[in-house]
Structures are given as C-alpha cells and as structure tokens.
A and B are shown apart, each in its own frame.
Chain A
Amino acid sequence: MGVVILLVMAAGVAAMLTRKLPTGFALVLLAVAIAFVAGAPLTGENSVLDTVLQEGAPALAATMVAILLGSWLGRLLDETGIAGTLVRKIVEFGGDRPVVVALGVLAVSTLVGTVTGSAPAAMLAGIIGIPAMIAVGIPKVTAAGTILMGIAAGMPFELPIWQFFSTALELPIPTVRGFMLKLFPFALSAAVLFVLVETRRRGVEHAWSLKSASAKPVSRREQLGDAPWYALLTPVVPLVLALGFEVAILPSMLAGVVYALLTTTRPREMNKRLLRTLYGAFEVAAAPMVLFIAIGILLAAVRLPGAVESLEPLVKAVSPQNPVLFVLVFTLLVPLCLYRGPLNVFGLGAGIAGVLIAAGIYPAVAVLGLATSYNQVFGVSDPTSTQTVWSAQYAGVTPQQVMLRTLPYVWAVALGGFCVTAATYL
C-alpha cells in the first residue's frame, strides 16, 4: 500500500511540475487519493470527508490569519511610502557606490522579509529597489537576486512562517523561534556574501536604454512623499515584540499595523486607509491562503493511521539516521525542492514532513530543521515561485538566470541548516 501512496505522490508531483494542475488543487486531490488508498472510510473517525477535508482545511487557520496580517502590514508599508522611503534614502546616501546601495536594498528586503513573504515582499522592496540598483550600475540578475536573498535573510524572522511551522509540525513557537535564530546567521551571511561577491565578479553595467527618455504617466504610488523617519521603524515593531518580549505572533503583527498607521496617517483618514489596505491584503493573501488550506488537508491525509502504517517502513528504509549521512543525503536532495519538486515545503514537502513526524522517523524539531532549510532554497531560487518570477521579470531577466546565480549561496545555507539540525537534534 505504501508503494501505491508513493506512486500517487509521484503523480501529484508530475501534475504540479507539468503545470497540469495548480499546486493548491493538486495537493487536495493528492490528499483525497492518499486517504482512499490508505483505506480511510468516507465518513466518521479518520475518514476522507470528516477528518481529511473538514478538519484538515482549517488546520492552518492561525497561519492564514498571520499571512493576512503580514499582507496587511505589507500593503501599509507600500501605501504609506515607508518601503519606498527606505530605498530612496539608501540610494541618496550610497548611490555612487553600487555595493553600498545593494547592501542597503538587501537590508530593506530583509526587513520586509520579516513582515511578509512571496511576491508582495519582493514587490515592496523591488519596485523601487530593483530599478534603483540598475540605475547605479548593478547588473540586472544581481539586482533581482539581491531582493530575493534579502527576503530570504528575513525569512527566519517572518512571523507567519513561525506560525506555519508551529502548526504544521505541532511544535511550540519557542522551539521554532530557537531554530530560526540558529538558521538566521547562515541566511544573512549568504545574502551579504552574494552581494559582495556578485557585485565584485560582475562589476557594473550601464545601458543606453530606449526607455530612458520616454514620457511616462506619474502613478499615485510615485506621488507619495517620504514617510517620517520614525515610521521607518515599522517593520521592526512586530519583530521586537515577538522576539524581544515574546508577545504572541498575531498581536505582534497587529501592533505593527497600528504603529504604521499612527505614524503615517491623519486621524480622519485612518478608518479609510485601514479598510482599504485590509481589503487589498485579502487579495494579496488569497493565493497563499488557498495553499495553506490545501497543505492542511494534505497533512491530515498523511497523518491518517492507515497512511502512517503503510509509509513508515518505506520511509524508514530510505531515511538516513547517521548525522553525517543525514547532512550529505539531504544536501544532495536540495534540487528536489525546486520547480515545485517533492521537497517543496509549500507543496508535497509538507506532506513528507508530516509522514516523517507521524511515522517517528525523526523528531519533529529535526523535521523543522529540514523544512526550514529547504524553504531558504525555495524562497530564493525556485523559478516557479512568484517572488522569483516577479523579481526576475521586473529586472528584465529570466527566473532561470536568477536561479543559477543564487543557487550556490542558498544551497550553502541549506547545508548550514542541515549541519545544525544533525548536530543538535539527531
């Protein structure tokens, strides 16, 4: 039976890779198929309808709310000009030294990455950051990569991600936070190294562009003034509360929303702005929320007793227990989290993580180490993830170019994560 489940999973991966089905839909179909193959009844205890679909769909509800709040805060950073002001100041202060501008934009991307993820994060930092870097001579692939590496450096502190791993892997928030603190130095070092090495290797680039002298209508975003300096602290507020004062994730993020509002908006405009940005956030958060519904359903399916019994011997046979082998094998498997591959944490990888924990192959915290390390690769280099596609297209290059340039750096981050996991939790 375990082999059949693996074949079903392979079919699901094929459907996602070939883009026959959107990931969210593929995961739900996969979950239902796994449940049936595992012998789950249609209704009742451990069933397809009541357990997998009914209980699975809202299982990651806290993550969905965190994603929504992150998107709300992201919208506010955009609408109030906070993100734009940060980038503008960096260009003004360091513009004649491309490496300084790139490091500054990297810092802004890291801050943004702690608040929200995916394409909205890339857009917040990149809409001004990418052309600003290109204008000072940073090559396009490096500019796109800088945004992505920055967001990934902030990812260990992205509160919705903490919530996701806490709920999906059934780990307390302090445990997730503890590992993220260990992963952060690797992510940050790789990001800084990327900027330093790539700006040195590729030098500067200037183009006589046909677009440079064209007339362009001025959009509302472009008419925004600078946000006051104290408003620029907004991305740090949720982080300080959650990390420094151990305040729960959702209130920490709400505090960020309130701070952004109070520091940038006149009282009579507050209601209007709050509602407008909140409704806008729903639009931004819709895609990841659909994905988290599907992941919850998949996790419920792979945790069914029948699925665990069937998969346990198979997964146990191929999962390395020796720490050195653990690091080696999972490092070699890094490319499997690209192109919606089976180790993509926001796809089948979540299901595999569920199996590893449910079957007792690894302690949950070791699976956290695996998943978050793969997430660092996926978040930067996967040419099918929206942040990578958006950044590459906006810079005028292909996502594959960005993948090739960034992969060595994030592969090293994953290696670091696996080493910490093996040394600490195996």
Chain B
Amino acid sequence: MTAALLDRAARTAIAELEAEDDVEFGVRLLRNTPTHERRDPALLRRWAATADAFGAGLPPVAATARIVESDGGLAKGLLARYTSRPVPTVELFTDTLALADALIDLLGWRHWYPAGSVRAAAVAHEAVHGQLHHGPRKKELKRALGHVVLRAGRHTLYGHVAGADEIAAHAHARTVCGLGRSPLLLTAALATAAEPQHGSSHGPPHGREK
C-alpha cells in the first residue's frame, strides 16, 4: 500500500468527501438503502442526524461475539461482517483493514483514526448490531426516528427506517473508539481507493433464456 494507491482523480474525490459533514454520509447511506430512494433529502438528513445521535448515546457494550479474521474483504467490498448463527461472530477482513490503515497514513488522517482504532471500531460497530436487533433498543430507535406509518386514535405505529441502525452502529463505533470523524468518511474514502478491486455484484444476468 503506497502512494500509488490513489490517482489524482481519487485524491480530488476524497478531498471532496473530507469537506462533507458526517451526517451527510448517513444521508448517503440511507439514500443507497432501498425504500428511501424517493424520499425528501431533508427528511433523510433528519433521520441520519437522529440515528447518529442515538448510536452515539448508546452505552458501550462488551463484544461477546467470537472474532475471526480473514482475507478477501476487498473482493467482497467489506470491512467487517456480523453473523448471528451458528454462534455470534464478527469477521474482520484483514486486507481491507490494512488498506484502511495505509489510506489513513497516506491522507494524513491519523489524528482522526488513531492506530488500531479501525479494527476496534469494526468490532464495536458489529457488536452494537446485536443490541439494535434484540431488546428495547430497536424500539427506542424507531420512536426516536418518528416515522409514523399508521395512526388510529391514540395508537401510533412507527415504521422501520432501513439503514438507520447502520448509521447508529457507525456513530456508536465513532464515540466508543474516540474517532475524530465518522467511520463512514473512511468507508467512502476506502470505496474510492478500492474501486477497481471489488467488482460489482449487481451486473446483468448471464444465464440463458427462461
């Protein structure tokens, strides 16, 4: 991982990313999540800010999941992955983590992402998903977002905002790991740097007729 990592266009793109505020990355995440494509940008921004604040306010949780490390994250376009079965496991992709560290040094972002913090953020991020999946936290997040889908008299049904838990998990990781900027900024920079390395899985079908 050297300076050859980034060409001029990539550096310009990352400089533009750097100028964005952290909530904007949450808005992007929501916009990239199906069901929000047509929503008002102002609403997305409000949801992103709310989810960010919610995640940042969550108490730290000890990572009880098994942690495994593997290669091939860049090919999959992933930095980490949480799976709940057969046993809760956090899988850290070492090649993506290495690229992240190289990129942080290259861009001079070490004051935002101290040494070892990306790995810690990945663990914290995936660990908090457990909280947001079970128990009262998921209900609290829904209420905080205030997306009402049905109202009948005194009863109000809050709708699920797909992607909000992801923003909350990133905000939580930022807070508990003491990062200067959102992990989503680093994610966007990584996507720019790793663009040729992870292929699109959304290509057209190559099967035969029928």
Contacts and interface: CB of A to CB of B under 8 A. Distances in A.
A132 interface: yes
A24 interface: yes
Contacts of A265: none
A210 B191 contact: yes
B76 to A, nearest CB: 8
Contacts of A210: 77-79, 96, 187, 190-191, 194, 198
B40 to A, nearest CB: 12
Contact of A205 (B81, B166, B190, B194): B81
B45 to A, nearest CB: 15
A394 B202 contact: yes
A206 B29 contact: no
A206 B205 contact: no
Interface size range on B against A:
35 or more
Interface string A72-95: 000000000000000110011111
Contacts of A205: 81-84
B201 A396 contact: yes
A87 B202 CA distance: 19
B209 A94 contact: no
A212 B81 contact: no
Contacts of B11: none
Interface size range on A against B:
35 or more
A303 interface: no
Contacts of A88: 34-35
B126 interface: yes
Contacts of B32: 211-214, 216
Given A210-B194, A288-B210, A87 B133 contact: no
A212 B166 contact: yes
A290 B35 contact: no
A331 to B, nearest CB: 23
A131 B34 contact: yes
Contacts of A211: 32, 77, 191
Nearest to A394: B202
Contact of A208 (B38, B81, B207): B81
Contacts of A208: 78-81, 122, 125-126, 183, 187
B35 A346 contact: no
A340 B35 contact: no
Nearest to A67: B210
A224 interface: yes
Interface of A: 19, 22-24, 87-88, 91-96, 117-119, 128, 131-132, 135-137, 139, 201-216, 218, 221-225, 287-288, 290-291, 340, 346, 384-390, 393-396, 399
Interface of B: 25, 28-29, 31-35, 37-38, 76-85, 96, 122, 125-126, 129, 133, 138-139, 142, 147, 149, 157, 159-163, 166, 169, 183-185, 187-188, 190-192, 194, 198, 201-210
- State the 10 A-B residue pairs at the shortest beta-carbon distance, nearest first: A95-B160, A203-B85, A203-B84, A287-B209, A389-B207, A222-B37, A390-B205, A396-B201, A92-B159, A386-B207
